[in-house]
Structure 1
Amino acid sequence: MFTVTESVEVARGAASVFEFLTDPARRAEWDRSVVSERLLSPPPVQTGSAIRTRMSILGRDAEYDWRVTVFEPPAAMALVSTSGMMPTRLRFDIADTADGSRVTATIEGSPEGMLRLAEPIISETVRSTFSESLQRAKALLEAG
């Protein structure tokens, strides 16, 4: 199992950052690994909602289904995969700061079978992709 945690400061309030980061329709705008993401259950997103994400990971297409386990605007959202390449958990924590807000994103992955051999590569790819994605989200949010 690996855990990757990345943080970024954004010059926008927690409410607008939370709304942007937790909107499935906007995920592909800021996360370069995401081809598309959509809500499978009736809107709005809430605890228990189902989300499907199509991704390109290490040059391979992948699809993940998620269940939202925590949805506490504007502070936290957590998801657990219900299908995909490997069991995965994702959490966003957002807190107001004097100059905007701080986003902390944590991904836990549990590669199984042959993927366990590639865990160091997967972990580093997740880290670099998510760091870049959070920086992109920051730029989009701050540009308005």
Structure 2
Amino acid sequence: MFAFEERIEIARDPQAVFAFLTSPEQRPRWDRSVVSERLLSPEPVQVGSRVRTRMRVMGRAVEFDWLVTELAPPTAMAARSLSGTMPTRLRFSFAATDVGCRVIASIGAEPGGMLRVVEPIVAEAARSTLASGLARARTLLEAEPEA
């Protein structure tokens, strides 16, 4: 099992950052590993909603179905995988700062089978993907004019 968290400050209000980072439609814009993400449940996203994510990870196409387990706009969102290559949990928390918004993103996963042998590589790939995705989200959000 591995777990880690990434933190970033984004010069936008927490509501805007929350809306961007938790929107299935926006995820492919900021997370370059995501090919597509769509809501499988009726709108709006809420606790109990299901989301399908198609990704390219370490050169392989993978698909995860997620269950939203926490949704408290604009402070937190969490989900756990229902399917995919390994059981995974993710959580985003958002807090207002003098600059705008602090985002803390955490991932925990339990690789099984052959993935257990390469767990350190899988963990580093996931951490690196999350860190670069958050940096891209910051660039995109800060480049947009404030509403």
The bucket for the TM-score relative to the shorter chain is over 0.9
Partner Cα separation in structure 2 for residue 129 and residue 21 of structure 1: 14
Contact 1:4 1:126 in 2 (8 A): no
Equivalent residues in 2 for 1:48-63 (5 A)?
A: 48-63=48-63
Gaps of 5+ in 1: none
Secondary structure at 1:24's aligned position in 2?
Answer: coil
Higher helix share: 1
Alignment root-mean-square deviation, CA: 0.5
What stretches of structure 1 move > 2 A for 4+ residues in a row? none
Equivalent residues in 2 for 1:16-27 (5 A)?
A: 16-27=16-27
Aligned to 1:108: 108
Q: TM-score scaled by structure 1?
A: 0.99
Partner Cα separation in structure 2 for residue 30 and residue 90 of structure 1: 16
Q: TM-score scaled by structure 2?
A: 0.97
- One-letter code aligned to 1:85: T
Secondary structure at 2:46's aligned position in 1?
Answer: coil
Percent identity (aligned): 58
Aligned to 2:143: 143
Partner Cα separation in structure 2 for residue 126 and residue 24 of structure 1: 19
Partner Cα separation in structure 1 for residue 128 and residue 9 of structure 2: 17
Secondary structure at 2:25's aligned position in 1?
Answer: helix
Equivalent residues in 2 for 1:2-41 (5 A)?
A: 2-41=2-41
Gaps of 5+ in 2: none
